[in-house]
Structure 1
Amino acid sequence: MNKTSPNPDLLKVLPNDDILQQCIHCGMCLATCPTYDLTKLERSSPRGRIRMIRSVARGEMELSALFAEEMNFCLDCQACETACPAGVKYGRMVETARVIVDQSVFTPKLKLFIKRFVLRKILASRFALKFVSRLLWIHQKTGLQKLIRLIGLLKLFSEKLPEVEKLSPQIANHFSDSIIKEIELPQGEIKYKTAFHFGCLMNTMFSDINTDTIDVLKNVGCKIITPKDQVCCGSLMAHNGDIEFALNLARKNIDAFIKHEYDYLISNSAGCGAFMKDYAHLLENDPFYSEKARIFSSKVKDVTEFLYSELPALKEKVKASVELEPVTYHDACHLIHAQKVSTQPREIIKSIPGIKYTELDEASWCCGSAGIYNVVRYDDSLIQLQRKMKNIRNTGAKIVLTGNPGCMGQIKYGAEKFDVDVEVLHPVTLIKRIIE
């Protein structure tokens, strides 16, 4: 094994030696890891990757193509963190390792340029994202998308591209930032002052979920502040090796929201909510933002986490004549593992009168979406999706609920590809349907 220089960035995210030894000898994470389950290779397990990260961090092993491959093979689902008795923050380690990989010769410059361009110049820019989304909307609505699929044009570029293209969700007719007022008021008494983060993809591709969220919050007595100068949360950038850019977005969001007075900041996207809750840690050494980030993160709640506290009020508002198809629930990784929110959405669902709820086998097993994993590693993603769709089929459910846009898009694609007759909904959309 060749020696090299220690890596200070990786050293910062390593736990102390006692915890590292406990982690490496434990192995409770193995049964929860999708990539280890797939390969049965130790290097593709959380503890195997931790060994590799430790060796590179200490300069005991050179950065290699194998190291780069394993860091990108990981789904970053963080199921291992839930299983870990030592509380090791594996996600922070692998995301820091991806930064190192992106700065190395093992990431092709063209691939890095394309990824950074899409994430920085399109996704992080509301103007650019809305412009591109409107072009995609025209592409979808005019029949051009159907024509391109029919003649197989995309196969000229790549055999997998036609399938990857099907993962793209339908663009909303109207974007939520043009519908939601900066201040929304309930009809009756104001019980809570809340803020709302409408996101980037949620704004253009899942606009209806955003407006459903506003309607439900108003129904339980929320005044809702939605700052127009908010930006993308930065989670996709951070998970894909661009942490400094992500932190700049975090600072912009803190500045946008901290000007307002509110009790809770509501998120309806598991990935966004998890990352915004982590601003406090990520900016803890920033002399200008550490305290502001701590306050900001302390107020972030997933919409189901918040609505759980209003369960009695919600039950009273359910329409008398509600009839629902059988329902099941898929745990979004960044909701159950990163935010530790699992009981609340289930209790809300089960409380609906007349609901036929069936627990999904392996509900917390990653569906394979994992940010942009299903695009950049389509084949690996498809294996996880096939497993998920088999379990969904076995429930007999006609509605699958999940709280993350990536999961929703992935499972919708899986339903079509594997011929599973289910409707995929966000829990807040189901709530909107059944309350008066």
Structure 2
Amino acid sequence: MSSAELQSRIQQGFQEEIEETKLLDCMRCGFCLPACPTYIHSNYDEAQSPRGRIALMKAVRDGDLPFDDSVEESLDLCLGCRACEPACPAGVEYGSLLESARNVIQKEKKQSVKEKVVRHAAFDHLFKDQQKMNRTAGMVKFYQRSGLQTLTRKMGILSFFPSVMKDMEKVLPRIEKNEVEKGVVYEGKRQNKKVAFFTGCLMEPMFSKTNEATVNLLQELGCDVWVPEHQVCCGALQGHSGELDKARENAKQNIESFLEMDVDYIVNNAGGCGAFLSEYDHLLKDEPELLEKAKAFSDKIIDITSLIYELGLTEKGLSYIGDKEITVTYQDSCHLRNVNLVKDEPREILKSIENVHFVDLKSADQCCGSAGIYNLVQPEMSIRILDNKMEDVESTHASIIITTNPGCLLQMKMGIERAGLSDQMEALHLVDFIQKYILEN
């Protein structure tokens, strides 16, 4: 395909998939600028801001600017954290604009052989088939427990890999046996609510103990917890990477699986998953036969922090089990805060615990640089954001930094390692913190 043909096809795709009215919602007021990490960390480059990217989309759509690598690079460098949305007085739907633009580019631009192989392995296998994801995690488990990990580190083999890969290897969670069975209803102590639990494609094998702690906590608070058998990945990584059709396939399967039984809520413990699940009605807006089901599904989505707060966890007389007061801080999951608007609940839970001194993190509302697989595909910007974040974390003098999303958790663990703070601080999911350190008085 010639350059002219590609530009024509991209322009046509933008016209078909990106609503002009949504582009025109942007008033170019600039309220989004101080909320955007890539704008700040690119020396205030307008092309790396939300309004700059919207201007590029509109210019390509209108034929005023030819699509080229610089446009794609600007869109790719976006974290997709959506911090611009709550900052925007006009309510611009930036997240959907970005996903649509990436979707068009992915459809029309010729991929390299390497990219085709990686995308096929990830989106047609790993994030589509949970058994394949679990088998992959099993290989990591073998690497960790067979002595290969120790040997690899001693021989310096990791030095041949990019630095971000070496850092990630250091903080990979220890793979444990998954005790949360699908197709099972775990009975609560008082049976106040009946909820369905979304296990998450990465949470299930990589953070199985967090899932187990989540189910246990919900049982303690009086919930029957049903774990649907045929659930799959939420589709967020596909949707954010220009693979909207594959995301829709996963959404349809999840909707059918979770609506088999009437429940009060569909609860998740991964902020990024929860945001995407809550927008299935938008994802399937062009499929009227499914829209009613998608809305019913999305209306039931709730994050674990919101649910345990609603169930009265802050009134339970919780107390830190250590000998003296401990200082903790909290890093928001971007999508939990910016899409699902869950900000206060995790903070109120932490503040309610006796002998826990909660310190607000200065930049908690800004992305940590994880953003799904962003830290792998855009390592330079990701690390720049993370290192800056860790300066704020260190200033809290906290012993524990808490978050509510697996990607954020791994990123903060990596930040602790990079900052040389591993002997002073640890990173934990909120549920794991409660399970490990908190008791009722």
TM-score normalized by the length of structure 1: 0.93
Structure-2 change in CA distance of 1:193 and 1:10 (3 Å): farther
Report what 1:183 is aligned to. Answer: 185
Name the CA distance, whole Å, in 1 between partners of 2:353 and 2:20: 44
The CA deviation string for residues 177-208 of structure 1, in whole angstroms up to 9 with x for no partner, is 44x66101112x21111110001110011111
Q: What is the percent sequence identity of the aligned residues?
A: 34
Report what 1:41 is aligned to. Answer: 45
Name the CA distance, whole Å, in 2 between partners of 1:167 and 1:291: 45
Of 170, 173, 177, which aligns to 1:174?
177
Report what 1:134 is aligned to. Answer: 138
Report what 1:84 is aligned to. Answer: 88
SS in 1 for 2:138: helix
1:153-164 matches, within 5 Å, as 153-156=157-160, 158-160=161-163, 162-163=165-166
Report what 1:284 is aligned to. Answer: 285
Residue 393 of structure 2 aligns to which amino acid in structure 1? I
Residue 348 of structure 2 aligns to which amino acid in structure 1? E
- Is the 8 Å Cα contact of residues 11 and 58 (structure 1) preserved in structure 2? no
Report what 2:31 is aligned to. Answer: 28
Of 122, 136, 142, which aligns to 2:126?
122
Structure-2 change in CA distance of 1:61 and 1:107 (3 Å): farther
Structure-2 change in CA distance of 1:396 and 1:22 (3 Å): same
- Is the 8 Å Cα contact of residues 318 and 352 (structure 2) preserved in structure 1? no
Report what 2:337 is aligned to. Answer: 336
- Is the 8 Å Cα contact of residues 176 and 203 (structure 1) preserved in structure 2? no
SS in 2 for 1:166: helix
Report what 1:315 is aligned to. Answer: 315
- Is the 8 Å Cα contact of residues 220 and 314 (structure 1) preserved in structure 2? no
Residue 270 of structure 2 aligns to which amino acid in structure 1? S
- Is the 8 Å Cα contact of residues 164 and 378 (structure 1) preserved in structure 2? no
Q: Displacement, 1:142?
A: 2.0
Report what 1:389 is aligned to. Answer: 390
Q: Displacement, 1:169?
A: 1.9
SS in 1 for 2:26: helix
Name the CA distance, whole Å, in 2 between partners of 1:379 and 1:29: 23
SS in 2 for 1:245: helix
**Which has the higher mean CA deviation after the structures are superposed, 162-171 or 321-330?**
162-171
Name the CA distance, whole Å, in 2 between partners of 1:393 and 1:132: 35
Residue 339 of structure 1 aligns to which amino acid in structure 2? N
Name the CA distance, whole Å, in 1 between partners of 2:112 and 2:73: 12
Can you give the 5+ residue segments of structure 1 that lack an aligned partner in the other structure?
Answer: none
Name the CA distance, whole Å, in 1 between partners of 2:61 and 2:179: 44
Q: Displacement, 1:67?
A: 1.0
TM-score normalized by the length of structure 2: 0.92
SS in 1 for 2:318: coil
SS in 1 for 2:365: coil
Residue 186 of structure 2 aligns to which amino acid in structure 1? E
Aligned length: 429
Structure-2 change in CA distance of 1:109 and 1:97 (3 Å): farther
Name the CA distance, whole Å, in 2 between partners of 1:118 and 1:252: 18
**1:432 correspondence with 2:432:** no
**1:293 correspondence with 2:294:** yes
SS in 2 for 1:326: strand
Q: Displacement, 1:352?
A: 1.2
Residue 326 of structure 1 aligns to which amino acid in structure 2? T
Name the CA distance, whole Å, in 2 between partners of 1:244 and 1:427: 33
Name the CA distance, whole Å, in 2 between partners of 1:169 and 1:320: 27
- Is the 8 Å Cα contact of residues 254 and 293 (structure 1) preserved in structure 2? yes
Name the CA distance, whole Å, in 2 between partners of 1:240 and 1:168: 24
Name the CA distance, whole Å, in 1 between partners of 2:132 and 2:162: 29
Q: Displacement, 1:378?
A: 1.2
Residue 265 of structure 1 aligns to which amino acid in structure 2? I
Cα root mean square deviation, aligned? 2.1
